[in-house]
Structures are given as C-alpha cells and as structure tokens.
C-alpha cells in the first residue's frame, strides 16, 4: 500500500503497510495476505453510562480479536476520546505480531471505549468499566481473550473487570484480565514491566551502536504507565533522562525522575515542576540526545517531525508512534529504531506470567519475574538483531518478519476448516 504524502497516515494504514512488506519479504502468498490482513472477530457495543447527575450518555465500545491462531487473544483496553474501530483493529494486529515475536501462546486483541476518562468521577469510571465488561462478556475469558490495561485504564479498571466477570460466572476468575492489583492475583513486577522492558531494549540498542550506557542522554515523550517506569529504570541504570513530556507539554532541568513524578501526581502534569524549563512535545522530539523514547500515542514521528530528530536510537515505548514515512526518514538518517512490538513487549510478557500464575494459583517472587522477563526479551532482541543482519533489513522489518512468519506458519499447520 502506498500513500500520498498529503494523506494523513492512520495507524491502520501503518500496520497494513508493515504487514504487506513482511509478507513480501517472507515470500508468502496472496492467500497468506488475505488471511493475515483480516481481523477474526469484531464486536462494537453501545455503553450507556448514568452520570452522577442522573444524565444518561452513550459511548461506543470495541473489542477486536485480531487472531486466535496461536492461543487465546490478548490485548489492552483503552479509554480515550479519539479511539475508533480502525485504530483498535490496528492495535489488535500489532498485538498479534508482538505475541508471536516473543513466542507467547497468544493471538492478539485490543479494545476500548471512546471516552475521556479524566472527565469521569471514580464512580462513573467504575460504572462505565463494568457495563463495557458486561457488553463484551460473551467473547472474553481466560481461555478466550484476556484484556489488560492500556492508555487511560489501570489496575482499578482491571479489578472492576475481573469482579464483573466473576460475579457473572459465580466464582472468582482472576485469569480473565491481567494487570490486576497484587491482592486479586496480579503479578509482582507487572506495573513496571513495559517500562522495564523498554529499558532493556534501550541498553541493547546502545550496545549495538557502541554508545556507552553510563551517562547516555534520553528524552521521553509520555509520562504515564510506560514513560514513567521507563524513565525510572533508565535512571537507575545510569542513563541521564534529560527531558520528559505529557499531553500538556514537556520539561527539562528536573533533578530526578522520582521528584518529577511526585509533582506530576499532585498537579496532573509535569509542566511547571520547580526548577524546570518548559518545551513543546515537538521540541522534545528534536533534542540532541542519544536516545528518544516515544511513549505516548500513535503517529508522533511523521514525515514532518522525523527530519528534526537528532537521537541516535529511537526505542518505541508507544504502539505505532512512527508512520511509514517517518520511519523512512529515520532509516535514511541511520538511526537505529527498536520497533514497538519488540520494545514495549515487556507488558504482555509479564501479563503472560500473571495469567500463568493465576492458572496455577502459585505466585512468583519479583526476582523470578524479572529474570524471566529479561530472558524472553533478550531472546527476542537477539533474534531480531540476527535477522536484521542475515536478511539485510531494519529491526522493524526483522521483528515483523519473525512475528508474521510465526502466525503464518501456525495457520498453515492448523489448516483451513472445513
């Protein structure tokens, strides 16, 4: 698929472009393209919400099960006013290749509600989460499809989802969602897992580029569940996080990630933290740093923002932060891009550990979680780096070839019913 430069690149365009390329590079057939470019199950639901003042509002909700070929589908639930079906399909597709790349026994899914959660009270958020869960109830379950947190949702939402599912089942079903509070069967290390995985990817990318880890400079766009934990992990590893941003803007000059997080928690944004200077999100992307971590939303690095990027390494904490045109610019500049399906896979890897622990009712220590996360991520990183060299392709192409190739192989081996 080719796109005119004036056309806005959507996450679905991006995902399909990357899939087409992987299919061609792997020498797969048109039958494979037809099978792999089609989501398996889409559920669109209306989610009514009674507001605290008794008004009733309707919101659109989605659950897309892109693939169940390699196991139950798995993917986050996003609460964001801008989500639509196309983006949800794109994110569910990425989850499919991500689970295959990391060799987890899952397909891929994504879901969400088109709502701005910051405008809901806690009680409204709970009612919306429970009603959404009950609308998608027939297609989720520990053996079918296992939701997790994503943008705008967290462990509170997972607790309400788990409770709603369990009340309907008549007994506790902790394995229906991951990213739960520890006391409800959550896993140690899940909260920080995506950020910890991003940090592992950053260190490996620096090693590839022969840049010293100690003192390497980092700018991070997005200071939520991924950005904050990545910043904290990188700071502990001796890197220097020089700038971070959120939806309201960015800052430089803070004394530590912890102190900035404290300010952000109390004020709802990093902007205005004592002793800092403010910058725009675009200025943050263009800082002369060693590492840039986009960890906010899709379509951040585009044909218009990519030319100004000076980082030597881009590690994608967010899903689909780089459009194909932005990617081309980064490649032409010789910037090493660690793609989303590899860089942010720490979240789904530890979600998998949580699901395994829930199935076995046997819980691991934090060290076991860390060790296993490290070993799965390093195996995937090494496979991608080796494929990139042997096939003379970028890391993104290599990651997609491995992920897509595994799903195609699973399809072939299972055969077509009937």
Q: Report helix, strand and coil shares of the chain as percent, to nearest 5.
A: 50, 15, 35
Contact 239, 246 (CB under 8 A): no
Contact 179, 149 (CB under 8 A): yes
State yes or no: residue 403 binds ligand NAD (CB under 6 A).
no
How far apart are alpha carbons 329 and 148 in whole angstroms?
33
In the sheet that holds 73-79, the strands lie side by side as 41-50, 56-67, 108-113, 73-79, 145-149
Contact 26, 100 (CB under 8 A): no
How far apart are alpha carbons 145 and 176 in whole angstroms?
8
Q: In whole angstroms, how close is the CB of 260 to ligand NAD at the nearest point?
A: 12
Q: Which two tokens stand for residue 330?
A: 């980064």
State yes or no: residue 319 binds ligand NAD (CB under 6 A).
yes
How wide is the angle at C-alpha 9 spanned by C-alphas 6 and 10, nearest 5°?
Answer: 145
Q: In whole angstroms, how close is the CB of 193 to ligand NAD at the nearest point?
A: 7
Kindly tell me which residue out of 152, 186, 403, 405 binds ligand NAD, with binding defined by CB under 6 A.
152
State yes or no: residue 151 binds ligand NAD (CB under 6 A).
yes
Q: In whole angstroms, how close is the CB of 347 to ligand NAD at the nearest point?
A: 3
Q: Which stretch binds ligand NAD (CB under 6 A): 161-169, 170-178, 315-323, 389-397?
A: 315-323
How far apart are alpha carbons 289 and 105 in whole angstroms?
37
State yes or no: residue 111 binds ligand NAD (CB under 6 A).
no
Q: Would you say 102 or 245 has its CB closer to ligand NAD?
A: 245
Q: In whole angstroms, how close is the CB of 148 to ligand NAD at the nearest point?
A: 7
**For residue 374, what is the DSSP state?**
H
State yes or no: residue 149 binds ligand NAD (CB under 6 A).
yes
State yes or no: residue 102 binds ligand NAD (CB under 6 A).
no
Phi, psi of 322, rounded to the nearest 5 degrees: -115, 125
State yes or no: residue 281 binds ligand NAD (CB under 6 A).
yes
How far apart are alpha carbons 386 and 389 in whole angstroms?
5
State yes or no: residue 318 binds ligand NAD (CB under 6 A).
yes
Q: Which two tokens stand for residue 228?
A: 């904050």
Phi, psi of 215, rounded to the nearest 5 degrees: 85, 0
Q: Over the range 197-235, which residues count as b (16 or more CB within 10 Å of their CB) and which as e? A: bbbbbbbbbbeeeebebeebbbbbbbbbbbbbbbbbbbb
Q: Which stretch binds ligand NAD (CB under 6 A): 18-26, 291-299, 362-370, 381-389?
A: 291-299
| SS3 assignment, position 400 | helix
Q: Which helix (H) or strand (E) holds 398?
A: helix 395-414
Phi, psi of 25, rounded to the nearest 5 degrees: -65, -30
Kindly tell me which residue out of 14, 68, 178, 194 binds ligand NAD, with binding defined by CB under 6 A.
194
State yes or no: residue 399 binds ligand NAD (CB under 6 A).
no
Kindly tell me which residue out of 199, 206, 226, 341 binds ligand NAD, with binding defined by CB under 6 A.
226
- 236 catalytic, yes or no? no
Kindly tell me which residue out of 257, 297, 338, 377 binds ligand NAD, with binding defined by CB under 6 A.
297
Is the Cα dihedral 9, 11, 16, 22 positive or negative? positive
State yes or no: residue 133 binds ligand NAD (CB under 6 A).
no
State yes or no: residue 224 binds ligand NAD (CB under 6 A).
yes
Q: Would you say 32 or 246 has its CB closer to ligand NAD?
A: 246
Kindly tell me which residue out of 199, 241, 295, 338 binds ligand NAD, with binding defined by CB under 6 A.
295
Q: Would you say 369 or 393 has its CB closer to ligand NAD?
A: 369
State yes or no: residue 10 binds ligand NAD (CB under 6 A).
no
Kindly tell me which residue out of 13, 150, 155, 397 binds ligand NAD, with binding defined by CB under 6 A.
150
Number of residues that bind ligand NAD (CB under 6 A): 24
Query: Catalytic one among 74, 110, 180, 225?
Result: 110
Q: Would you say 203 or 270 has its CB closer to ligand NAD?
A: 270
- C-alpha 372, offset from chain centre: 19
State yes or no: residue 247 binds ligand NAD (CB under 6 A).
yes
Binding interface with ligand NAD (CB under 6 A): 149-152, 194, 221-227, 245-247, 281, 295-297, 317-319, 344, 347
Known catalytic residues are 110
């Amino acid at each position: 698929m080719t796109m005119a430069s004036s056309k806005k690149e959507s996450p679905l365009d991006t995902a399909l472009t990357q899939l087409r390329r992987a299919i061609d590079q792997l020498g797969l057939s048109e039958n494979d393209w037809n099978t792999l470019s089609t989501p398996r199950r889409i559920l669109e639901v209306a989610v009514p919400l009674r507001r605290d003042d008794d008004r009733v509002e309707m919101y659109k909700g989605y659950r897309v099960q892109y693939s169940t070929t390699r196991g139950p589908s798995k993917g986050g639930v996003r609460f964001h006013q801008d989500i639509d079906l196309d983006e949800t399909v794109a994110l569910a597709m990425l989850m499919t290749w991500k689970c295959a790349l990391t060799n987890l026994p899952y397909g891929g899914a994504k879901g969400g509600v088109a709502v701005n959660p910051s405008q809901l009270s806690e009680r409204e958020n709970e009612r919306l989460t429970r009603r959404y869960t009950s609308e998608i109830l027939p297609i989720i379950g520990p053996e079918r499809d296992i939701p997790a947190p994503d943008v705008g949702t967290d462990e509170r939402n997972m607790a309400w989802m788990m409770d709603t599912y369990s009340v309907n089942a008549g007994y506790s079903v902790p394995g229906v969602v991951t990213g739960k509070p520890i006391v409800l069967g959550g896993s140690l290390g899940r909260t920080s897992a995506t950020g910890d995985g991003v940090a592992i990817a950053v260190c490996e990318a620096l090693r590839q580029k022969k840049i010293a880890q100690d003192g390497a400079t980092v700018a991070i766009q997005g200071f939520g569940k991924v950005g904050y934990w990545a910043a904290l992990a990188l700071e502990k590893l001796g890197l220097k996080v020089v700038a971070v941003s959120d939806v309201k803007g960015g800052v430089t000059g803070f004394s530590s990630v912890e102190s900035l997080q404290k300010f952000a928690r109390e004020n709802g944004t990093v902007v205005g933290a004592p002793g800092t200077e403010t910058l725009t999100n675009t200025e943050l992307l263009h800082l002369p740093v060693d590492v840039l971590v986009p960890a906010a939303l899709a379509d951040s690095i585009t044909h218009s923002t990519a030319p100004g990027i000076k980082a030597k390494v881009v590690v994608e904490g967010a899903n689909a932060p780089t459009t194909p045109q932005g990617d081309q610019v980064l490649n032409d500049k010789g910037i090493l891009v660690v793609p989303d399906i590899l860089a942010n896979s720490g979240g789904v890897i530890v979600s998998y550990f949580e699901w395994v622990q829930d199935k076995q009712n046997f819980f691991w220590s934090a060290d076991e979680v860390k060790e296993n996360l490290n070993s799965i991520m390093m195996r995937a990183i090494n496979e991608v780096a080796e494929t990139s060299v042997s096939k003379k392709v970028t890391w993104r192409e290599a990651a997609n070839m491995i992920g897509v190739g595994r799903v195609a192989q699973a399809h072939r081996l299972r055969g077509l019913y009937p």
